[in-house]
């Protein structure tokens, strides 16, 4: 006979209670104050202890009732099946999950990973299965779990060691949340019958840096039977800081130097750092060296002098003990001169003309200087300085040779903006715009038009599509040329219409280039466009359309996919190591940036540079505790040992036996029977007492 | 004239008149002691009893008893001008002083036992409260007649002592003295009575309010002090109904309020024994008082105070009948009044 709940055996002590109650009578409570006790004497009953038990049979019956009740509460059962032994259990499934993010490149970390892995493998017991996973921004399986029923542990260990020898830290960021969730799914891929008996364990070997992304665990329901054993690996020195070049707050800022922020880690031990520019050859520009004093856990922002040469490619920081994130790569574009060819009869200082506004609308900045060159609309002239303009604006009727030259330029990829305000101008553009003819209606005097319908998806208006900016009702047009578009002109895209439904803005592709037409002008005599707040963004968007590399960002993070303008074919990429890669067209498996540095993109004569840097979260190297994982309901800890598992399984089996046998019911029946007997005996005993007292 | 007789200014009352007084008392509406004790001010409490008492007897033939005019004498400087007869002065143009039968010469000592046993009470107030009220009532009554009233409170030691005087404000001090007195511990009659016998050179009336729950032998000696000085001694024995009837039901620990001694008592089984002993003690006390020439009046706290006073008047009236004699030298043949 065994019992499930031994703790109820303490209830047997209650046998003492009836005996104590039997022997002790309580002292009367309360007292009566009285003037004088001189006429009183003490009267029985006396306050004494009775030291004699009157009825042994009753005491025995009552004690037996209590004992049987206690036995029923202890849930007795008879163990019929065999016991469970350690060898009957299947082995544990252990997934070793190693962090290979860039923060693991710190000194001494990878050696500790090796030691942690060796210890984990040494702790495995016969029958255990082991798999090897690594993660950075993605999870990778290097050794999966065995499919066979009988696991050869020695060979599994050998496979893990062989695969680990091929591993090294990467430059990618850390997505710990998704890696843990995916590994938990791998570990728990078992039949329900086997899963209850198998210990599911993840051994996480990581530096547990503060910047690791745990967002993947927020929506993941952690399996209750999967435990995570945390092996935290620490570098030889935790002092780490990193520098970043920040973008200018204003495009018109002309201040000397660039804004640089240095951030020091919370557990850093140093506070003084130097920042300097370095060119591609590794030569430092000592003149630009700037010292930062940054206490741990804070950051400081200073201006670092511009590099003397345009060839500087990295900002290098010294002063901390972790070098992996001490370089910040930048592409320093030289000031770009953008020529605009203007074909019109007005002069730059004529405030009633168009070029007056065009020349002033784009301010000069560090990266861009816009130059408007005036050309005669009737005579062909060579391009100024021999530089092909990025944009041509025609506001007057041009001669046929000029039109022919512009047509050729557009077909080679130029962007032409033509302002059509009269029949003469339309006729001169006939070779470029053959599908347009003049309409008959005109705006009556004292009347005006406004933009009625605008295609905000067009690059011209895209920047103004927000609800705060898309109100064009303040711009009035007094003169416009009504144009009728032939039905055959399929390629022409209407960008905007006036509120009388006539054409206002349209675009027509021509060869590799584009012709954008406008049925009015921004001269003050024609409209309020030049005076409105919309003019600057419109012209800026127009210039943006001329930049064929505009889709390229100047700065990327390691892990970002490589992008080329318009998904064109023929682009070659040269990585910082000098390796070349051919980019295929299409949006399929686009290669990603695998390391920080300057990547060079080439396509024929066109080329641009891309600076690729580490994810800033990787520089947040202060270690966090396992509490952070537990806050996402991750079960941190080791699986119970085989002996503990056997104990818990045996308990489970005993509980099932007890529920099947239900011996406590029979004990309760016996208690009720004994209570009946006790009642009879007690009744007879009290009758005898009364008779004896009466006789006395 | 006996001092006690003068207290109430009773004329020569016959037995028939005494019965009339009793009948008057029975027809009056008395104040319930429990209601009376709810009046916090002791002076007001005494005034309520006396006013009721006087209202009751004003319908009796006793009206007009007070300080009585006798004759005139010539005014001489130094006499109190309050007693000048201004009407006579108007008629004769001479000053005459009115003379009264008796000016204040009664000296009454109110002696209150405030030991712990007097704090017992089963009616919502204690025996000490009742004793204070009774003594205050008598003091107020006497002061109306311009008699000198003194006070002495005691437990095992003497508490308050005020010599008997009749002057403005003295009665208020007596009342305050009674109110201020707090309960002590044990009862010891010897010191206060010795004190009075030592201080009171002139004969007077000593009114002692106590439960007299003490051995008879001690009481005999202590009461003897007073009688030996020639004082007239009136003892009001204040008893709670619970002490007289002992009608408790539950077995409890009874605690002596003076000694703190505790005794487990089953009242049902000891009641008969208690009542026997109590009666025996009362009997012995009564005999002792008779022997000492002391008037003993048992006052149960559930009885109205004015009824108790009238009882006393009735007894005093009977005492004035011819042939009645009291002495501490020759004890009466029969028992005293209780």
User: What does A528-583 look like in DSSP terms, one character per residue?
Assistant: STTTSTTHHHHHHHHHHHH-TTTTS-SEEETTPBP--GGG-S--EEE-TTS-EEEP
> Quick check: is B252 in a domain?
yes
Residue showing tokens 């690791």:
A212
Runs of H (alpha helix) within B8-94: 15-27, 33-37, 42-58, 86-92
* Token pair in block for residue A246: 């920040």
Yes or no, beta carbons of A28 and B256 under 8 Å apart: no
> Quick check: is B207 in a domain?
yes
What confidence category does residue A203 fall into, taking pLDDT thresholds of 50, 70 and 90? Answer: very high
Yes or no, beta carbons of B255 and A36 under 8 Å apart: no
- Residue B89 shares a structural domain with residue B210: no
Q: Which of A28, A32, A42 sits opposite B255 (nearest CB)?
A: A32
* Token pair in block for residue A577: 């190591």
* Token pair in block for residue B96: 């005459």
Residue showing tokens 């969730």:
A181
Residues paired with residue B1 on neighbouring β-strands, in sequence order = none
Interface test with A, best of B265, B269, B276 (most A CBs within 10 A): B265
Interface test with A, best of B263, B268, B281, B285 (most A CBs within 10 A): B263
> Quick check: is B176 in a domain?
yes
Q: How far apart are CA A508 and CA B51, in angstroms?
A: 128
The tally of domains found in chain B comes to 2
Residues in B closer than 8 angstroms to A48, CB to CB, are none
Helices B170-180/B42-58 angle, 10° precision: 120
- Residue B86 shares a structural domain with residue B117: no
Yes or no, beta carbons of A30 and B252 under 8 Å apart: yes
Q: How many residues does chain B have?
A: 338
Query: Which residues, at least 6 apart from A346, have a Cβ–Cβ distance to it below 8 Å?
Result: A352, A353, A354, A355, A356, A395
- Residue B125 shares a structural domain with residue B271: yes
- Residue B232 shares a structural domain with residue B123: yes
Higher pLDDT, A338 or A204: A204
pLDDT digits (tens, 9 = 90+) for A612-623: 999 988 888 888
Residue showing tokens 């004759």:
B71
A395: number of CA atoms within 13 Å, CB side?
Answer: 20
- Residue B109 shares a structural domain with residue B235: yes
Q: Which of A37, A45, A46 sits opposite B254 (nearest CB)?
A: A37
Phi and psi based region of residue B190 (left: phi greater than 0; alpha: psi -120 to 50; beta: remaining): alpha
- Residue B88 shares a structural domain with residue B219: no
A140: number of CA atoms within 13 Å, CB side?
Answer: 15
- Cis peptide bond N-terminal to A45, omega within 30: yes
Q: Does A34 touch chain B (CB under 8 A)?
A: yes
Q: A23 to chain B nearest CA, in Å?
A: 21
- At residue B326, the pLDDT reads 45
pLDDT digits (tens, 9 = 90+) for A478-534: 988 888 888 777 788 899 999 888 899 999 988 888 999 999 999 999 999 999 999
> Quick check: is B269 in a domain?
yes
Q: How far apart are CA B135 and CA B175, in angstroms?
A: 9
Yes or no, beta carbons of A43 and B266 under 8 Å apart: yes
Q: What is the chain B residue with the closest CA to A39?
A: B274
Q: What is the mean pLDDT of residues A247-273?
A: 77
Phi and psi based region of residue A413 (left: phi greater than 0; alpha: psi -120 to 50; beta: remaining): left
* Token pair in block for residue A113: 């990973």
pLDDT digits (tens, 9 = 90+) for A368-408: 788 899 999 988 888 888 788 889 999 999 998 999 999 99
Yes or no, beta carbons of B117 and A30 under 8 Å apart: no
> Quick check: is B325 in a domain?
no
Q: Per-residue pLDDT tens, chain B, 338 aa: give them.
A: 444 444 444 333 333 344 444 444 444 556 778 777 777 777 778 877 777 666 654 433 333 334 556 678 888 888 888 888 898 899 988 899 887 654 446 788 898 888 888 889 888 889 999 999 989 988 888 888 778 889 988 877 778 888 888 888 888 899 888 887 666 666 677 777 777 777 776 778 888 899 888 888 877 777 777 777 778 888 899 999 999 998 888 778 888 888 888 888 888 888 889 999 999 999 999 998 888 888 888 889 988 887 767 766 666 555 544 444 444 433 333 333 33
Yes or no, beta carbons of B256 and A37 under 8 Å apart: yes
Q: A695 to chain B nearest CA, in Å?
A: 21
Residue A172 has pLDDT above 90, yes or no: yes
Fold held by A93-234+623-638: Rossmann fold (3.40.50)
Residues in A closer than 8 angstroms to B262, CB to CB, are 31
pLDDT digits (tens, 9 = 90+) for A428-468: 888 888 888 888 777 777 889 999 899 999 989 988 888 88
Higher pLDDT, A50 or A140: A140
Q: A39 to chain B nearest CA, in Å?
A: 5
Q: What is the chain A residue with the closest CA to B120?
A: A35
Q: How far apart are CA B15 and CA A688, in angstroms?
A: 69
- Residue B118 shares a structural domain with residue B11: yes
Q: Does A219 touch chain B (CB under 8 A)?
A: no
Q: What percent of chain A has pLDDT over 90?
A: 29
Cα angle, residue A600 at apex, residues A597 and A601 outer, rounded to 5°: 140
Residue A410 has pLDDT above 80, yes or no: yes
Q: How far apart are CA A284 and CA B185, in angstroms?
A: 106
Residue A28 has pLDDT above 70, yes or no: no
pLDDT digits (tens, 9 = 90+) for A117-143: 999 999 888 888 889 999 999 999 999
Q: Which of A32, A36, A41 sits opposite B213 (nearest CB)?
A: A36
Interface test with B, best of A25, A37, A41, A46 (most B CBs within 10 A): A37
Q: What is the chain A residue with the closest CA to B116?
A: A35
Q: What percent of chain A has pLDDT over 70?
A: 89
* Token pair in block for residue B275: 């009542």
Equal CATH topology for A93-234+623-638 and A336-546: yes
Q: How far apart are CA A634 and CA B120, in angstroms?
A: 75
Residue showing tokens 């004529």:
A350
Q: How far apart are CA A118 and CA A124, in angstroms?
A: 10
* Token pair in block for residue B133: 């009220």
Yes or no, beta carbons of A32 and B257 under 8 Å apart: no
Helix (H) or strand (E) holding A291: strand A284-293
Q: Which of B243, B257, B265 sits opposite A43 (nearest CB)?
A: B265
- Residue B163 shares a structural domain with residue B134: yes
What confidence category does residue A6 fall into, taking pLDDT thresholds of 50, 70 and 90? Answer: confident
Residues in A closer than 8 angstroms to B255, CB to CB, are 31-34
> Quick check: is B324 in a domain?
no
Q: How far apart are CA B286 and CA B270, in angstroms?
A: 24
Yes or no, beta carbons of A35 and B277 under 8 Å apart: no
Cα angle, residue B302 at apex, residues B297 and B303 outer, rounded to 5°: 50
Yes or no, beta carbons of A43 and B255 under 8 Å apart: no
- At residue A623, the pLDDT reads 86
For chain B, counts of helices (H) and of strands (E): 12, 10
Q: Does A26 touch chain B (CB under 8 A)?
A: no
- Residue B159 shares a structural domain with residue B219: yes
Q: A690 to chain B nearest CA, in Å?
A: 21
Q: What is the mean pLDDT of residues A310-328?
A: 83
Write the CATH number of the domain with boundaries A336-546: 3.40.50.880
Cβ contacts from A onto B, under 8 A: 81
Higher pLDDT, A43 or B253: B253
Yes or no, beta carbons of B251 and A40 under 8 Å apart: no
pLDDT digits (tens, 9 = 90+) for A646-692: 788 788 888 888 888 889 999 999 999 999 999 998 888 777 766 66
- Residue B155 shares a structural domain with residue B217: yes
Domain extents for chain A? 2-29+42-82+656-695, 93-234+623-638, 336-546
- At residue A313, the pLDDT reads 79
Q: A21 to chain B nearest CA, in Å?
A: 21
Yes or no, beta carbons of B264 and A28 under 8 Å apart: yes
- Residue B95 shares a structural domain with residue B35: no
Range of the domain at B81: 76-100
- At residue B318, the pLDDT reads 57
Residues in B closer than 8 angstroms to A37, CB to CB, are 254, 256, 259, 261, 263
- At residue B60, the pLDDT reads 35
Question: What is the average pLDDT score of chain A?
Answer: 84
- At residue B21, the pLDDT reads 44
pLDDT digits (tens, 9 = 90+) for A70-111: 999 998 888 776 677 766 677 788 999 999 999 999 888 999
**pTM beyond cutoff 0.95:** no
Q: B63 to chain A nearest CA, in Å?
A: 42
> Quick check: is B202 in a domain?
yes
Query: Which residues, at least 6 apart from A486, have a Cβ–Cβ distance to it below 8 Å?
Result: A435, A436, A437
B22: number of CA atoms within 13 Å, CB side?
Answer: 14
Strand ranges, E, within chain B: 69-74, 96-100, 107-113, 148-154, 158-165, 205-210, 232-239, 252-256, 262-265, 295-300
What confidence category does residue A255 fall into, taking pLDDT thresholds of 50, 70 and 90? Answer: low
Q: Does A48 touch chain B (CB under 8 A)?
A: no
- Residue B90 shares a structural domain with residue B217: no
Yes or no, beta carbons of A47 and B274 under 8 Å apart: no
Q: What is the chain B residue with the closest CA to A32?
A: B254
């Amino acid at each position: 006979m065994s019992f499930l709940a031994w703790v109820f055996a303490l209830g047997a002590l209650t046998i003492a209670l009836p005996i104590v109650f039997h022997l002790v009578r309580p002292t009367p409570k309360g007292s009566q104050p009285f003037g004088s006790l001189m006429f009183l004497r003490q009267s029985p009953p006396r306050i004494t202890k009775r030291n004699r038990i009157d009825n042994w049979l009753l005491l025995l019956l009552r004690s037996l009732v209590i004992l049987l009740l206690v036995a029923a509460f202890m849930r007795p059962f008879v163990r019929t099946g065999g016991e469970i032994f350690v060898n009957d259990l299947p082995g544990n499934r252990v997934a070793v999950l190693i962090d290979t993010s860039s923060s693991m490149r710190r000194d001494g970390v990878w050696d500790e990973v090796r030691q942690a892995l060796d210890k984990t493998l040494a702790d495995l017991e016969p029958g255990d299965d082991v798999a090897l996973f690594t993660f950075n921004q993605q999870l990778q399986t290097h050794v999966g779990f065995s499919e066979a029923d009988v696991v050869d542990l020695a060979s599994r260990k050998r496979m893990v060691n062989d695969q680990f020898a091929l591993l090294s830290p990467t430059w990618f960021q850390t997505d710990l949340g998704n890696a843990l969730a995916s590994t938990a799914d791998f570990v728990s891929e078992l039949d329900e019958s086997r899963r209850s008996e198998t210990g599911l364990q993840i051994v996480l070997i990581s530096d547990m840096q503060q910047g690791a992304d745990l967002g993947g665990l927020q929506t993941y329901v952690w399996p209750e039977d999967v435990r995570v054993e945390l092996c935290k690996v620490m570098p030889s020195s935790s002092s780490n800081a990193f520098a970043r070049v920040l973008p200018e707050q204003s495009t018109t800022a002309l201040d000397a130097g660039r804004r640089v922020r240095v951030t020091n880690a919370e557990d850093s031990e140093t506070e003084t750092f130097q920042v300097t520019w370095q060119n591609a050859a590794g030569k430092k520009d000592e003149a630009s060296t700037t010292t930062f004093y940054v206490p741990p856990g804070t950051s400081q922002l200073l201006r670092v002098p511009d590099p003397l040469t345009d060839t500087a490619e990295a900002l290098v920081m010294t002063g901390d003990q972790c070098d992996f994130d001490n370089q910040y790569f930048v592409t320093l574009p030289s000031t770009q001169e953008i020529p605009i060819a203007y074909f019109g009869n007005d002069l730059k200082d004529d405030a009633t003309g168009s070029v007056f506004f065009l020349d002033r609308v784009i301010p000069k900045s560090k990266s861009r200087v816009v130059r408007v060159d005036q050309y005669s609309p009737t005579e062909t002239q060579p391009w100024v300085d021999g530089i092909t303009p990025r944009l041509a604006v025609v506001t007057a009727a041009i001669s046929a040779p000029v039109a022919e030259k512009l047509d050729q330029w557009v077909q080679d990829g130029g962007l032409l903006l033509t302002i059509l305000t009269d029949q003469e101008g339309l006729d001169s553009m006939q070779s470029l715009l053959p599908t347009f003819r003049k309409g008959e209606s005109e705006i009556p005097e004292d009347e005006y038009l406004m933009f009625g319908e605008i295609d905000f998806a067009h690059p011209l208006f895209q920047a103004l599509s927000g609800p705060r900016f898309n109100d064009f009702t303040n711009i009035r047009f007094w003169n416009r040329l009504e144009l009728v578009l032939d039905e055959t002109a399929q390629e022409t895209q209407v960008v905007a219409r006036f509120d009388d439904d006539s054409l206002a803005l349209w675009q027509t592709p021509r060869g590799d280039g584009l012709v954008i037409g406008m049925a009015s002008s921004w001269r003050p005599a024609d409209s309020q466009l030049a005076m409105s707040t919309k003019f600057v963004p419109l012209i800026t968007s127009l210039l943006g359309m001329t930049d064929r590399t505009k889709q390229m960002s100047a700065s990327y993070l390691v892990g970002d996919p490589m992008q080329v303008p318009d998904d064109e074919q023929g682009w070659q990429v040269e990585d910082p190591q000098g390796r070349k890669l051919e980019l295929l067209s299409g949006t399929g498996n686009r290669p990603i940036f695998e390391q920080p540095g300057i990547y060079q993109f080439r396509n024929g004569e066109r080329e641009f540079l891309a600076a690729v840097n580490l994810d800033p979260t990787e520089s947040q190297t202060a270690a966090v505790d396992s509490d952070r994982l537990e806050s996402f309901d991750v079960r941190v800890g080791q699986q119970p040992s085989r002996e503990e598992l056997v104990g818990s399984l045996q308990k489970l089996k005993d509980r099932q036996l007890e529920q099947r046998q239900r011996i406590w019911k029979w004990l309760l029946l016996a208690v009720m029977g004994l209570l009946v007997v006790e009642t009879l005996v007690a009744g007879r005993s009290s009758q005898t007492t009364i008779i004896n007292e009466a006789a006395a | 004239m006996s001092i006690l007789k003068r207290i109430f200014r009773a004329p020569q009352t016959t037995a028939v008149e005494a019965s009339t007084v009793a009948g008057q008392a029975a027809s009056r509406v008395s104040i319930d002691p429990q209601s009376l004790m709810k009046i916090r001010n002791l002076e007001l409490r005494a005034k309520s009893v006396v006013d009721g008492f006087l209202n009751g007897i004003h319908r009796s033939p006793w009206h007009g008893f007070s300080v009585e005019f006798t004759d005139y004498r010539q005014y001489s400087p130094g006499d109190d001008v309050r007693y000048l007869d201004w009407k006579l002065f108007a008629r004769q143009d001479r000053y005459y002083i009115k003379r009264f039968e008796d000016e204040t010469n009664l000296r009454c000592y109110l002696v209150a036992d405030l030991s712990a046993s007097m704090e017992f009470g089963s009616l919502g107030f204690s025996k000490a409260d009742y004793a204070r009220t009774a003594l205050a009532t008598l003091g107020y009554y006497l002061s109306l007649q311009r008699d000198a009233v003194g006070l002495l409170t005691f437990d095992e030691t003497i508490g308050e002592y005020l010599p008997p005087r009749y002057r403005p404000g003295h009665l208020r001090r007596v009342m305050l003295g009674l109110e201020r007195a707090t309960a002590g511990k044990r009862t010891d009659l010897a010191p206060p009575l010795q004190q009075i016998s030592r201080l009171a050179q002139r004969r007077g009336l000593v009114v002692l309010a106590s439960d007299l729950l003490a051995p008879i032998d001690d009481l005999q000696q202590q009461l003897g002090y007073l009688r030996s000085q020639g004082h007239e001694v009136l003892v009001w024995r204040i008893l709670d109904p619970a002490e007289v009837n002992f009608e408790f039901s539950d077995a409890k620990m009874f605690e002596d309020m003076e000694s703190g001694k505790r005794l487990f008592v089953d009242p049902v089984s000891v009641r008969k024994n208690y009542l026997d002993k109590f009666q025996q003690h009362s009997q012995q006390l009564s005999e002792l008082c008779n022997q000492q020439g002391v008037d003993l009046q048992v006052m149960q706290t559930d009885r109205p105070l004015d009824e108790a006073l009238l009882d006393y008047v009735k007894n005093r009236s009977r005492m004035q009948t011819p042939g009645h004699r009291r002495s501490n030298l020759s004890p009466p043949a029969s028992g005293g009044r209780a």
